[in-house]
Structure 1
Amino acid sequence: MTGALSESPEPLPVVLVGAGNMGRHWIRTIESTPEVRLVGIVDLDLDLAARVAQDEALDVAIGSSVSEVAARSGGAAVVNVTVPAAHRPVNEEALFAGLPVLCEKPIAPTLVDALQQAALAEVAGGLLMVSQSRRYFTELVRLRAIADRLGRVGAITTEFYKAPHFGGFRDRMEQPLLVDMAIHQFDMARYLLRADPVSVSCSSWNPAWSWYDGDASAAATFEFDDGARYSFTGSWCAPGRETSWNGAWRISAEHGTAVWDGDGVPEADGIDSLPEAPDGPEEIAGSLAEFVRSLRSGEVPQNEIHENIHSLAMVEAAVLSARTGERVDIAQLLELRYAEAVRTERRTDVRERLEQWGSVARLRLRGAAEVAS
C-alpha cells in the first residue's frame, strides 16, 4: 500500500458503488458510523442512484464513474457493493485512481479473477479488502478464543439448514448453496482454525421438493494443514427447525468440546470459564470498522485480498469435487488457476506481476508485504 491515511479526527470520506438493495444496507451502515462520511454514490443507473439518495435524504455526488465522483466529492476510499461480475472493473478503476477499496464478498466469480485482482492491487499499490462480514460476530470471536483454550482442534462441524424463497438469480444457479452461501461458513472455519485448507471431498444434490434449479444441498469435508478436519452439511430447501444463518457449530479439541448455535453464547467444557465477548460493531459494520482502522494504521486487515483467496478456493474446490466425485487437492487447484490467470490476464503490467510470483504457495505473505510497503 502506498501509505496509510493519517490518523485524522475527521471522518473518512467514502464513495459507495452499487445502489441496489445491498447498497441501501451499506448506506445506512455508513451513515451510522462516525468514522466515515458518505460523499458519493456511483451506479450505471443514474436514476436509481438519485432515487436512493433522495429516499435516504443524502446530499452526495452522483455519477457513473468511480474516479470522477471521487474527484468531485473528495472521496478518499471506495465501498464496492456491485455484483461479483462487476467487481474487477470497479476495483481496477478505484485502485488506479489511488482509492483503497472495501469490496463485498465474493471478491470474484472465479479463482482466476481473484488472483488477477490480487496482482492488480499489487501493481496499483493500494489496499483491496474483502468484506467477509460474518467474521465480525462477537460470539464467533468468543468461540475462537474458546477454541484456543481447548488446545489442538481435531474436528469442526457445521450444520446449516434454511428454506429461503429468494426468487431471482439464486433459484437458477447451478450450485446456489455452495457458491452463494457456504463461503461464509468456509471462511468462518478458516478463522476458527487459523489454518488453510489442503483438500476437500464434496457431494451435492437437489431434493425432489426443491424450488431451486441447481443443487440446494451439499456435504463437504475439508482437511486443513494443521491436521484438523472441517465438515459442512447443509441445505437451502430444508423447512422446519431451521438453523441460524451462521449455522450450528461443534468444535472437538484436545481438552474439551465447544458448541455454538450461531446466535447465542457458545457453550464449552474443558475450560473453567468462558472468555469475555469483545466489544465492537458486528457484520458489515465490523468489516467497515476494520477497513478504516487499517487505513489509519497501515496494518494488514484480516480479509486483505491475498488472504481471502483461500476461502474462495474452498468454494471452487468443493464445487469441482461435487461435479467430478473426486477429492480435490486445493494447492494443485490454486496452481492450475494461477497458470490460467497468467495466460488470460489482459493488462500487461498485471500479467507481468503475476509471472513474477512464480507460484501461489506464498500468497498470504505477498499480501502482508504489499500492504506494509
Structure 2
Amino acid sequence: MAKGWVKAISADRGLRETIRIVGLVDVNLDAARMLAGEFNLGDVVIGSDLEAVLAQTQPDILFDVVVPSARVEVVAAGLRHGCHVLSEKPMATSLEDGHELVRMAAETGKLHAIVQNRRFVPGIRRIRSFIESGAIGDLTSIHCDFFIGAHFGGFREEMEHVLLLDMAIHTFDAARFIADKKPIAVYCREENPRGSWYAHGAAATAIFEMADDVTFTYRGSWCAEGANTSWESEWRIIGTRGTLLWDGADEFRAKKVAGTEGFLRKLTPIKVPAPTDRRRTQGHASVIADFVSAIHDGGKPETAGDDNINSLAMVFAAIESARSRQRVIIE
C-alpha cells in the first residue's frame, strides 16, 4: 500500500509541490530501497527503526502504512515526535485502541486522520450530492452488495474478521457519509464459506439501523468466485419519491415517481449530475490533499480520527453481533 500512497503523491502536481519524502521505514530494508528507487526519491533516509528515522529526519508528517496490529505503536511514535499522522485503515484493531488514538492526538495537538479513500471517489461524492438535492425525496434506505474472489496471500488470509475489519470499513464509512446519519444499532451474521482460502470471516451480512429510521444493509464476501462486483460495491439508494442505482463504476440510474394512479406508479428518469469539485474525487490523492490542507489552514480533515471512530464503531458492533448473534447497540 505504501507504493499506492507514493504513486498518488507523485502523480498529483499539487502534492508533489507540497510534500517531500525524507524517510522510509520498513522491517524489510530491501522493500524500502526498491520503493525509493522506483520513484526516484533521491537522498531519502532508509531504516528499520522508526524512532531513529523520525529523530534524524524530523518530518512534519508521518504516513502510517503498516499492518493494523502495529497501528497504535506507530501513531504514538509519530505524535511523540511532533508529527501529524495519516494512517491506513482500519483506524485500530479495537474500539478501545481507537479511543486511545483520539486521546493521544488531542493531547499532543496534532492531527490524526485515516485514509478512507473510497469516500473520495467520484461515485460516492456524486451520490451524496444527489441525495442532498432531494431528487428522490427523503432517504429511507441504502443497500450494498460486495462480492469479489480476492486472492491476496499475506496477512489478510490469516486475519480474524477479515472482511468486516479490513474491507467492509470502506463501505460502512461511505454509507455513513452518504446518509449523513448516526449509526444506532446492527445485526450481523459472519461466516467463512466452504471453499474459502481465508482463515476466518470472509463473508458477512449486516443490517444497520441509522438515525431518522434509515436502514443500511450490507452483503459481502471476499471468496465469491464467478461474478465480481466493483471494489466500491453495488448500491441501491431508496428515497420517499424514487430510487438511485449505482454499479460501483460508471453506471448511474435514477427514477422518481411521476404519477399518482395505478398499481405501479409511472416513473420518470432523473439525471445524476457529476461532481463539480474534482479535487475531492481523486481517491488517495484527495485524502492526502485534504489532510495537508487541514495542517496548513488549521482546520480538520474530513477523515479525522474523532469522526472516523464512528465508522470503526460500526465494524466492531457488527463483529460483536456476529459473535453474540444478537442486535448490538453502536457505542
Q: Which amino acid aligns with 2:273?
A: P
Measure the CA separation in 1 of the matches of 2:96 and 2:147: 30
Look up the match of 2:3.
Answer: 24
Q: Does residue 321 of structure 2 align to residue 321 of structure 1?
A: yes
Deviations 1:327-353 (A, max 9, x none): 00112xxxxxxxxxxxxxxxxxxxxxx
Look up the match of 1:94.
Answer: 78
Look up the match of 1:154.
Answer: 140
**How far did 1:65 drift?**
4.5
**How far did 1:55 drift?**
3.6
Measure the CA separation in 2 of the matches of 1:221 and 1:264: 26
**Ranges in structure 2 where 5+ consecutive residues have no aligned partner:** 257-268
Instruction: Find 1:277's aligned residue among 270, 275, 278.
Output: 275
Preserved CA contact (<8 Å) 1:31 1:38: no
**How far did 1:169 drift?**
2.5
Measure the CA separation in 2 of the matches of 1:184 and 1:272: 27
Preserved CA contact (<8 Å) 2:58 2:81: no
**How far did 1:199 drift?**
0.3
2:22 counterpart SS class? strand
Preserved CA contact (<8 Å) 1:206 1:214: yes
Look up the match of 1:202.
Answer: 188
**How far did 1:48 drift?**
3.4
Q: Which amino acid aligns with 1:174?
A: E
CA RMSD of aligned residues (A): 1.8
> Normalising by the residue count of structure 2, what TM-score does the alignment of the two structures yield?
0.88
Look up the match of 2:293.
Answer: 293
Look up the match of 2:330.
Answer: 330
Preserved CA contact (<8 Å) 2:64 2:86: yes
Deviations 1:180-205 (A, max 9, x none): 11111111110001112100001122
Measure the CA separation in 2 of the matches of 1:266 and 1:234: 21
Deviations 1:124-153 (A, max 9, x none): 110001111101101210111111223321
**How far did 1:47 drift?**
4.1
Deviations 1:297-356 (A, max 9, x none): 12211110010001111111111111111000112xxxxxxxxxxxxxxxxxxxxxxxxx
Look up the match of 2:241.
Answer: 255
Preserved CA contact (<8 Å) 2:254 2:270: no
Preserved CA contact (<8 Å) 2:143 2:236: yes
CA 1:174–1:84: 2 relative to 1, 3 Å? closer
Instruction: Compare 139-148 and 53-62 and name the one that shifted more.
Output: 53-62
Q: Does residue 204 of structure 2 align to residue 218 of structure 1?
A: yes
The aligned length equals 310
Measure the CA separation in 1 of the matches of 2:137 and 2:241: 6
Identity of aligned residues (%): 38
Preserved CA contact (<8 Å) 1:143 1:266: no
Preserved CA contact (<8 Å) 2:165 2:315: yes
Look up the match of 1:310.
Answer: 310
Look up the match of 2:32.
Answer: 49
Preserved CA contact (<8 Å) 2:89 2:166: no
Preserved CA contact (<8 Å) 1:172 1:213: yes
Look up the match of 1:344.
Answer: none
Look up the match of 1:58.
Answer: 41
Look up the match of 2:152.
Answer: 166
Measure the CA separation in 1 of the matches of 2:202 and 2:96: 25
**How far did 1:229 drift?**
0.5
**How far did 1:266 drift?**
2.2
CA 1:215–1:75: 2 relative to 1, 3 Å? closer
Q: Does residue 96 of structure 2 align to residue 112 of structure 1?
A: yes
> Normalising by the residue count of structure 1, what TM-score does the alignment of the two structures yield?
0.78
**How far did 1:242 drift?**
1.3
Deviations 1:81-108 (A, max 9, x none): 1111212122112112221111111111
Q: Which amino acid aligns with 1:79?
A: F
Look up the match of 2:124.
Answer: 140
**How far did 1:31 drift?**
2.1
**How far did 1:212 drift?**
2.3
Q: Which amino acid aligns with 1:39?
A: V
Q: Does residue 168 of structure 2 align to residue 182 of structure 1?
A: yes
Measure the CA separation in 1 of the matches of 2:8 and 2:292: 13
Look up the match of 1:369.
Answer: none
2:226 counterpart SS class? coil
Look up the match of 1:343.
Answer: none
Measure the CA separation in 2 of the matches of 1:235 and 1:23: 25
Q: Which amino acid aligns with 1:63?
A: G
Instruction: Find 1:39's aligned residue among 22, 38, 56.
Output: 22
Look up the match of 2:62.
Answer: 78
Measure the CA separation in 1 of the matches of 2:81 and 2:214: 42
